[in-house]
Amino acid sequence: MKEKIVLIDGCRTPFLKSETDFLNTMTYELGQLAIKGLLTKTGIDPKIVDSVVMGCVISTLKTSNIAREAALTAGIPYTTPCHTVTQACISANRAIVSAIGEINTGHAEIVIAGGADSASETPIGYKKSMRTKLMKANKLKSFGDTLKFVSKLKLKDFLPETPSITEFTTNKTMGQDCDIMVAKHGISRTEQDKLAIISHDLAEKAWEDGHHEKEVVPVQIPPKFKFIHKDNGIRSGSKIEKLAKLRPVFDKKHGTLSAANSSFLTDGSAVVLLMTESKAKELGLKPKAEIINYSFTGQRLEDELLLGPAFAMSKALDNAKLKLEDMDVFEIHEAFAGQVLANIKCLNDEQFCKERLNKDQTVGEIDMTKVNQWGGSLSIGHPFGATGARLLNTAANRLHNEGGKYAILSACAAGAHGHAMIIKKYEE
């Protein structure tokens, strides 16, 4: 029998709207801040950390392995191996599962896992034609050759190539896919706006009640060393009438997705500390939760891009031999309000469960009073590579706060992927 893998604790930076206070902070620096916060919070000696695994989506050439750079600058010894993984919006989830794999196979006992991303650090380059010309320019030997090269350049050569936010295979944005999905499943604009309002109000209340404060490490960013301790995307107290006036963002004619019911571009980092149960006892650490099971799924890109949570939750529950009604806490990534509502609806839809999940009956109905009660990605924010670690830590903290036994966390991701993980409140 494999030894229990437990979550000791988690830590994150404030999640900030891109182009705000983290504008000049590099992604690895965000990771460094989260790791430092976790080391301080848990009191763990950096020298005994066996591995660091980080998720990241928007990487740069200078710091392609942000796990290594973040770990070294946070005080983790150079002898500790570090690697970076990517799987779109579930990159941190993949990092956590990679850590679990290292522990299960005996390659590590103590692992820091999570992720970081900065939408403010999006790399912008030149088009292929210009890059080819510049590479040839490196071989020029004389000033005359250089002048001749420059004279042949055209204005269009200097036009930047911005990263695409579309699916490579379908050429549609996730927002466009979500607009199609919510229309197909009958999710109204009003339903989406109401969920967005709830998310923001719950996030603000969680801050007022001190829940987020226990998860977030305050930071000071040079050169002004401004003290930042809170997420800056939360807008509590919004009115449904005001949100209804916002124009659709993606399908401007028929769409129901707006800036209010969609998650925003975010900078931030989140990490968790995982280890074997025996190691936790040896170190005198009290775990928060035990990792029970997890799943990753792939779906059709044409019409199921954002339905990953429905597929993944069903699979994880089957793997763990548990039912939806056994779950006391749900943490579901809010890429869009409509995405959350569509997944919840599908899990309780007889036809969908029969045809797509191979079920004789529905997976079940989710009690919305158990979902994202401290807010979600719509309000807190969504740094692509970090969200999964936030979900795990919050799920564990909610179990203890709400007196529950089991929690399930889930997320969708670009490429039509889904992830779910089931955890159990730790009890000796």
Catalytic-labelled residue, pool 11, 82, 89, 353: 89
124 pLDDT band (50/70/90 cuts)?
Answer: confident
121 pLDDT band (50/70/90 cuts)?
Answer: confident
Max CA pair span of the chain: 77
Q: What is the pLDDT of residue 162?
A: 65
What is the Cα–Cα distance from 294 to 213, expressed in whole angstroms? 28
Per-domain residue ranges for the chain? 5-122+262-422
Catalytic-labelled residue, pool 11, 82, 346, 412: 412
Cβ distance 220 to 22 under 8 Å?
no
3-class SS at 406? strand
3-class SS at 300? coil
Looking at domain 5-122+262-422, its CATH superfamily turns out to be Thiolase/Chalcone synthase (3.40.47.10)
* Structure tokens, 335: 């890429």
Phi, psi of 358 (to 5 degrees): 55, 45
Cβ distance 31 to 236 under 8 Å?
no
242-264: buried (b, 16+ CB within 10 Å) or exposed (e) per residue? ebeeeebbbeeeebbbbebbbbb
Mean pLDDT to the nearest integer, 117-145: 81
Q: Which amino acid is at 324?
A: L
Report pLDDT digits (tens) over 268-318.
999 999 999 999 999 999 999 999 999 999 999 989 999 999 999 999 999
What is the Cα–Cα distance from 178 to 186, expressed in whole angstroms? 12
Cβ distance 80 to 256 under 8 Å?
no
Report pLDDT digits (tens) over 310-323.
999 999 999 999 99
Torsion of CA 32, 33, 34, 36, to 10 degrees: 80
Q: What is the pLDDT of residue 152?
A: 79
Query: In the predicted model, is pLDDT for residue 166 greater than 90?
Result: no
Q: What is the pLDDT of residue 151?
A: 82
List of residues 6+ apart from 142 with CB closer than 8 A: none
% the chain with pLDDT above 90:
82
389-402: buried (b, 16+ CB within 10 Å) or exposed (e) per residue? bbbbbbbbbbbebe
**Catalytic residue list contains 346:** no
163 pLDDT band (50/70/90 cuts)?
Answer: low
SS (H, E, C) 84-132: EECECECHHHHHHHHHHHHHHCCCCCEEEEEEEEEHHHCCCEECHHHHH
Mean pLDDT to the nearest integer, 142-169: 77
3-class SS at 267? strand
Higher pLDDT, 273 or 173: 273
Q: What is the pLDDT of residue 288?
A: 98
**Catalytic residue list contains 412:** yes
Torsion sign (Cα): 173, 418, 111, 382:
positive
Phi, psi of 80 (to 5 degrees): -85, 120
Residue at token pair 């590479």: 135
Query: In the predicted model, is pLDDT for residue 10 greater than 80?
Result: yes
3-class SS at 236? coil
